[in-house]
Structure 1
Amino acid sequence: MAKKELKTLQDVENFKVDEDRLLYSANHEEIRQGLTTDIYFIKTREILNNLDLAETEVVVDIFTSGAGVLAGVNEVLNLLQEKDVKVWGLQEGSMMEKKEVVLRIEGDYNDFGIFETAMLGALASSSGWATAAANCKEAAAGTPVLCFGSRHLHPAVAPVMERSAIIGGVNGASCILGAKLAEKIPSGTVPHSLILTVGDTLKVAKAYDEIMPDGEPRTILVDTFKDEAEETLRIADELKERLDGVRLDTPSERGGVTPGMVKEIRARLDQAGHDYVNIFVSGGITPDRILKLKDCGVDGFGVGSYISGAEAINMTMDIKKINGEHIAKRGRIPGPTKNNRLKRLL
């Protein structure tokens, strides 16, 4: 049974954190209760109730601080779906301009104002991740890009990030829940830890080929023990046409993956009759590195920290109409900002 929303400071005081709590992240019910909101929205709700202004009808605009790809809209709609509100906005995945109104909400302020913190946060973070992903896809110019950024974030929000990256245009994601939320099949090979544990890349490759389902691409990590070109040919000579590709993830301590390395491996594969083997590159990949590597023979990129560490695109929510009258804080123009791109979403 759903717990009631916070309405008063007494409700806040009465809330106690369970001593056996496993993670510090908020669950869905806690967000819906208002436990992730800023305390001043609870004070606002209590004061409006006491002044008999709880049913004050407002129109609010949510606008963006920067241009990019809009994401997080669906989560906002999910938060508001049981509220008596009307919502207009841009569709998730839309390009947005700086200062553009991306969402408009009409209803009783005291009914939905408690969610301002959560709504703005969802839009800001998700849009930042989606925009970073779009930057990578633009640089890749058609070459597939996967998101590998979950390990750089708290596990509670990692799936949101990887779903946002897919909204931004990447082809897939390694995080199981993130990919599933975007209706994609999780993508990835095996970690260095497996190869280190087994002790030989070729042995891992043969086991991978034997054990994995036929529909699973045979892409093998080749930078763990030996020279990348040498290891690539060992694997290709053994698996032959069953080998889909190799992944290069050379650490920064050894200079990372370079254009010269990719060109050499591509040439050696082709000379040995393995021109069907793809080269997938990961490890510190950014749009700039994609531009330097994409024409050297790379067939796919794995991007992690560039997407997961993207700066949020801040969002602001302003009341622009109260009980039918145009209004705004100083410095802003009263009344809803015109945007013909907004469509009724709820």
Structure 2
Amino acid sequence: MKNYQFDAQVKKGYYLADYFKKTVKIVEKYKSDAVVTMQFFQRKENTVVCGIKQVLALIKFACPNYLTLKIEALDDGMVVQPLEPVLKITGHYQDFGFLEGMIDGILARNSSIATNSARVIAVVGSQRALNMNDRADLYLNQPFDGYASYVGGFRQFVSEAALELIDDETVKQPSGTMPHALIQIFDGDVLEATKAFHETFPDNRLVALVDYHNDCVNDALKVARYFKEKLFAIRLDTAANLVDQTLSKTKDQYPEDAKLNGVSEYLVVAVREALNQEGFNHVKIIVSSGFNAEKIADFEQKKIPVDLYGIGEALVKVNIGFTGDNVALNGQGQAKFGREEHENKRLKAWKW
């Protein structure tokens, strides 16, 4: 938890909904001795819990009397079901209750990313999945998002920031390839840009980006013919609104309802077949742009020859919400209708 940093304004209530701040003042005036239990839960099946460590760090940072609190929590990475508490805090409301909204938000974002990541890894495994969410969200979130994705099973990342909170020596440092900008600067010459990359970073695995001209087959062959065994892989990143030139010219060969846009199964197969026909069977295929667990599962079921999937936006969609409810007052049940306290024997007492 030592790596978690918080804005000093947290303690001043800057990030709190106004009604939480007002509630603290009222409680301090009328019910300062009341002891409450607050439980946190969500409503979706097979959710991978994440954010517990960050919440505990927040409590230690923001709550002056945190040592008096009784905290029971699950570990990051545990799978929970609807209404199953992941965290319970017992103490004076004014000592912690004001953090309800922030805790909900931390758990929601982190658990969403961990769960999204776990669904990808369940389909394709950690060795064939690359976290590319650096461009999918606010850059300041990368350390937290990287950790959440790690909890969900990812082991390959593209930025150093994504590794900041990951304490695992088996996770390698990022080693990227090239953006479209590099090809553009070389006046659109894919081969010259790839040559420059190889000469500058000769120890890196050589991966050529081949969709710049929307002609993946021919550009993949161009770099493969030049580099031969030195070429490790090519990457396909065709936008969803485009159909690659090769597919456009041969569209009559495909079913009428075939989805040819973007990095389609047909494009991957066409590139693979073209490389193999010229003896470049060793060249791997990396795909990115628009991939999520569902699309990857479809590719895998159809045995589309992809070696590595790059996933970004799909990982950071916040689709799991958490709720914090007071469920006990001075040791007795007291809760909003339908929000009664739920037992969870998996909760463990936290010791500072």
**Which residue matches 1:211?**
200
Alpha-carbon spacing, 1:65–1:296, altered in 2? closer, same or farther (3 Å): same
**Which residue matches 2:184?**
196
**Which residue matches 2:44?**
66
2:167 is the alignment partner of 1:167: no
Residue from 100, 111, 117 that aligns with 1:127: 111
Map 1:47-62 → 2, pairs under 5 A: 47-51=26-30, 53-62=31-40
Q: Within 2, Cα distance between the matches of 1:57 and 1:217?
A: 59
The one-character-per-residue Cα deviations of 1:107-129 (angstroms, maximum 9, x if unpaired) are 22211112111111000111112
Q: Within 2, Cα distance between the matches of 1:137 and 1:249?
A: 20
CA-atom RMSD in angstroms? 2.2
| Residues 143 and 299 in structure 1, CA contact (< 8 A), matched pair in contact too | no
Measured after TM superposition, the shift of residue 285 of structure 1 is: 0.9
Map 1:1-346 → 2, pairs under 5 A: 28-51=7-30, 53-67=31-45, 68-82=47-61, 83-84=66-67, 85-140=69-124, 144-183=128-167, 184=171, 185-199=173-187, 200-212=189-201, 214=203, 216-225=204-213, 227-252=215-240, 253-254=242-243, 255-294=261-300, 295-308=303-316, 310-333=317-340, 336-346=341-351
| Residues 133 and 307 in structure 1, CA contact (< 8 A), matched pair in contact too | yes
Q: Within 1, Cα distance between the matches of 2:8 and 2:161?
A: 19
| Residues 74 and 92 in structure 1, CA contact (< 8 A), matched pair in contact too | yes
User: How many residue pairs were aligned?
Assistant: 316
SS in 2 for 1:329: coil
Q: Within 1, Cα distance between the matches of 2:177 and 2:77?
A: 28
So what's the TM-score if we normalise by structure 1? 0.84
Q: Which amino acid aligns with 1:108?
A: H
| Residues 214 and 238 in structure 2, CA contact (< 8 A), matched pair in contact too | no
SS in 1 for 2:153: coil
Alpha-carbon spacing, 1:118–1:141, altered in 2? closer, same or farther (3 Å): same
Measured after TM superposition, the shift of residue 38 of structure 1 is: 0.8
Q: Within 2, Cα distance between the matches of 1:74 and 1:103?
A: 11
Measured after TM superposition, the shift of residue 37 of structure 1 is: 1.1
The one-character-per-residue Cα deviations of 1:66-110 (angstroms, maximum 9, x if unpaired) are 121111111101111251223222211111111111111122221
Q: Within 1, Cα distance between the matches of 2:218 and 2:103?
A: 51
Q: Within 2, Cα distance between the matches of 1:343 and 1:242?
A: 52
Q: Which amino acid aligns with 1:193?
A: A
Alpha-carbon spacing, 1:239–1:87, altered in 2? closer, same or farther (3 Å): farther
Measured after TM superposition, the shift of residue 263 of structure 1 is: 1.6
Q: Within 2, Cα distance between the matches of 1:156 and 1:304?
A: 15
Alpha-carbon spacing, 1:339–1:217, altered in 2? closer, same or farther (3 Å): same
Gaps of 5+ in 1: 1-25
| Residues 120 and 314 in structure 1, CA contact (< 8 A), matched pair in contact too | yes
Q: Which amino acid aligns with 2:40?
A: I
Q: Which amino acid aligns with 1:138?
A: A
Q: Which amino acid aligns with 2:20?
A: F
SS in 1 for 2:86: strand
So what's the TM-score if we normalise by structure 2? 0.83
Alpha-carbon spacing, 1:116–1:219, altered in 2? closer, same or farther (3 Å): same
Q: Within 1, Cα distance between the matches of 2:139 and 2:312?
A: 14
Q: Within 1, Cα distance between the matches of 2:11 and 2:149?
A: 25
Alpha-carbon spacing, 1:206–1:40, altered in 2? closer, same or farther (3 Å): same
Alpha-carbon spacing, 1:245–1:31, altered in 2? closer, same or farther (3 Å): farther
Alpha-carbon spacing, 1:146–1:111, altered in 2? closer, same or farther (3 Å): same
Q: Within 1, Cα distance between the matches of 2:162 and 2:94?
A: 33
Q: Within 2, Cα distance between the matches of 1:143 and 1:79?
A: 33
Alpha-carbon spacing, 1:138–1:50, altered in 2? closer, same or farther (3 Å): same
| Residues 150 and 159 in structure 1, CA contact (< 8 A), matched pair in contact too | no
Gaps of 5+ in 2: 244-260
**Which residue matches 2:258?**
none
The one-character-per-residue Cα deviations of 1:164-221 (angstroms, maximum 9, x if unpaired) are 222212232324312333354235322111111112111121121121262x322221
Q: Within 2, Cα distance between the matches of 1:326 and 1:41?
A: 22
Q: Within 1, Cα distance between the matches of 2:27 and 2:207?
A: 60
Measured after TM superposition, the shift of residue 226 of structure 1 is: 5.7
Q: Which amino acid aligns with 1:131?
A: T
Q: Within 1, Cα distance between the matches of 2:281 and 2:164?
A: 33
Alpha-carbon spacing, 1:35–1:143, altered in 2? closer, same or farther (3 Å): same
Q: Within 2, Cα distance between the matches of 1:332 and 1:27?
A: 31
Q: Within 2, Cα distance between the matches of 1:188 and 1:146?
A: 10
Measured after TM superposition, the shift of residue 247 of structure 1 is: 0.7
State the identity as a percent: 31
The one-character-per-residue Cα deviations of 1:210-250 (angstroms, maximum 9, x if unpaired) are 21262x32222111126212211222222233222111001
